[in-house]
Structure 1
Amino acid sequence: MTMNLELQGKRVLVTAGTKGVGKAVVGLLHEQGAKVLTTARTQPDDTLADHFVTADLTTVEGCRQVAEAVKARLGGVDIIVHVLGGSTAPGGGFAMLGEEEWLQELNLNLLPAVRLDRALLPGMLDQGAGVIIHITSIQRVLPLPESTTGYAAAKAALSTYSKSLSKEVSPKGIRVLRVAPGWIETEASVALAERLAQQAGTDYEGGKKIIMNSLGGIPIGRPSKPIEVANLILFLCSPRAATITGTEYIIDGGTVPTV
C-alpha cells in the first residue's frame, strides 16, 4: 500500500502482531509512520523490545500488563487492532467441548478484546477520538459443527459486543469496526493443509482443496493472503474511513454463500 493514509504519528496497539495478519498489519503501520506496540506470548528475534510486550492475553493479568505498557510507552492510544484469536478445541462436535474447552475459546477470542477496550477506552473518550478494529470471522455465520462450534460462538459474541460498543461510543468520536476474514493462508493454515495433504496422499495444493471444500468452496479459488486482510484493516483505521463505524467487512474470497 503506497498511498498516504494519514497515520503518521498515530499510537497503535496490535494484538497478536508477530505472525499472520497481525504481523502484516504491524508492517504496514510502520511504513505509514505510526507508533506501534504489539504483543504475543513470546517475542520474536526480529522485534524491537520497546515495540513489544510479552503477555498472555487470555488472562486478566496479561491484559493489565499490556494496557499499562500502552499508557507508559505510548502515552495513550489512538488505534487498537484486536487480531488475537484462534482455536485449540478438538474436533468431534459438541460432545468434545467440555467446560475447559468452552472457557478457552472465550478467553482467546472474546475476553481479551473486552478487557483491553475497558482499560484503554477511557483515554480515547477523553481525547474524543479513536478507532477500534475487532477481527471476527466468517465462522460466526458459517460454523463447521465438526470442528469450530466453540470458536464460531466466541467470534459471534465478539461481533455482537463490537456492534453494541460502536453504538455507545461512536457519538463520542470513537469508531468501532469489525473485519471478518475467511480462510487466510497463514503459517498455521499452511501447516494444516500440509498435514491434510499427507493424510490424503496428495500435495499441498490438494490439501488446500480439502480445506476449501470443507468451507463449501471459495469462488476466487484460493485463500486470502495476510497482507490482503491487512490492507483492508489499515484503510479502516485511517481518517479516509472517517464515516465508517459499526459495520463488519467480510474478506473471504466469496466463501459466505448468502447475501
Structure 2
Amino acid sequence: MCWHPNLAEQPQLSGTSIFARRPHPPPYHLSSATITMAARSAALKLDWTKVTGSLGLRGQTAASLQAFKKRNDDARRKVQVLSEQPQTVDFAHYRKILKNQAVVDEIENYFKSFKPATYDVNRQLKAIDAFEAQAVKNAEETKGKVEAELSNLQKTLENIETARPFEDLTVDEVAAAQPEIDEKTASLVIRGKWMPPGYKVRFAFYPAHFRGIWSIFELFTNASRPAGALWRPFRSVNVVTYYPTFPLLPPTSMIMSP
C-alpha cells in the first residue's frame, strides 16, 4: 500500500478501503549540506560584465579581472569534467584480470584511506579585505586631492577671466603677486648689476650713441630725485641701501658720449 497526494483529497469510503484518507506527509526540511551547495551555486552565478560596468573598471584593472574570470571558467570546466567521471573503482574487476593481487589490495587501501586536502582560506580572505579597505582609502584620498586641484584650477580660471590687461598693471602689483621679483632685483643691485642678464639684448630701449657704464645712470637717475634714488617706471629704489658707494660716483654730466 502506498500513499499518493491526489488520494488524500478523495472522500473517505466505508470499510477498510485502501483509498481511505491518509494524513499528509511531514514537511520536507533542507539539510545543511543542501543549503551550502545552494549558496555555492548562487555564488557561481556572477555577472562579470555587470561587475566591470558598475565599478567602471578600466585599463590594467579590467584586464586583471578578465584574466581572473578566464582562470575561474577553466577551473569550473575541469571540475565539471571530473565530476562526470566515475568516482568509484571496481577493485574486484582488477583482481580478476591481474595476477598480482597484492598490488590491487595496496591500491585499494590507499584509495579508501585517501582524504582530500583542505585549505584554510581565511587568511587570504582577510588579506583581500585589508587590501580592499586600503584601496578604498587611497581612492578617497585621491578623490579629495583631485577635487582640491579642480577648485584651484577653477579659481585660476576665474582670475584669468577677470584679470586686467597687462599694460594696466603697475610694478607694485606685479611685485605683490610675485615677491621673488623684488628679491632677485635686490640680489642684482647688491652685486652692482643694474640690468637683468640679456635684457639690453632683447629690449634695446636706450639710444645707440650712449657708451660705457655711465649710460645706465644717465637713463635711470633724475636731478629732481634725492641723492642715491634710482628711477624706474612706477617706483623708486634706494640704491645707497644696496650700493653704498653710489653717491661717490661722478655726476651724470661727466658721461662721455661720441
TM-score between the two structures when normalised by the length of structure 1: 0.17
More strand by share: 1
Structure label with greater radius of gyration = 2
Which structure has the higher relative contact order (CA within 8 Å, separation 6+)?
A: 1
More helix by share: 2
TM-score between the two structures when normalised by the length of structure 2: 0.17
